Amino acid sequence: MTIDPAPPEATRSVRIRNSAGLHARPCHAIVTLARQHECELRVASAGVEVNGKSILELMTLCAPCEAWIEFKARGRDAAALVERLSALVEAGFHESP
């Protein structure tokens, strides 16, 4: 009998750089990117963790500029998703300063 290995996991914390913080557009960008991947995604900030593929749950984080958010992905493409999401946050969600 063989035991299936645990699915790959990836975690990274990044600081929100855009001045408006985690509002509707950034939440939509996260969900859109997350839904292009098979893995599960959890997003945490200030001790609250939510489903990263749900825009409504993400918006409840209300993370302001300079807040830290943590991406926790689990599944075959977890590392790729966390890398892409981290780059998106670090780019300020491509919002004008």
pLDDT at res. 6: 76
pLDDT at res. 1: 63
pLDDT at res. 96: 66
Q: How far apart are CA 14 and CA 66, in angstroms?
A: 9
Q: Domains of the chain by range and CATH? A: 9-94 (3.30.1340.10)
3-state secondary structure of 62: coil
pLDDT at res. 14: 98
Q: Partners of 10 in the beta sheet?
A: 73
pLDDT at res. 39: 97
Q: Which residues of the chain have pLDDT under 70?
A: 1-4, 96-97
For the question of whether the overall pTM of this predicted structure is more than 0.85, the answer is yes
